[in-house]
Amino acid sequence: MDILFFHDDLCLTWIDFHHYTFVTSHVYQTAAVAKM
């Protein structure tokens, strides 16, 4: 299930939003650790 790819219809659901937020925060944390 590629949840993030259903956003092109601009119809975010609660689960989609929180999944996207979790993935985004994880990416930022990984990038921050990589810079150290």
pLDDT under 70 in the chain at which residues? 1-15, 18
pTM value is 0.38
pLDDT of residue 5: 52
pLDDT of residue 15: 63
Q: Which two tokens stand for residue 29?
A: 């944390």
Q: Rounded distance, CA 4 to CA 33, Å?
A: 24
pLDDT of residue 1: 46
| String of DSSP letters for 9-27 | GS---HHHHHHHHHHHHHH
Q: Rounded distance, CA 33 to CA 36, Å?
A: 5
The CA-based angle 13-11-18, given to 5 degrees, is 30
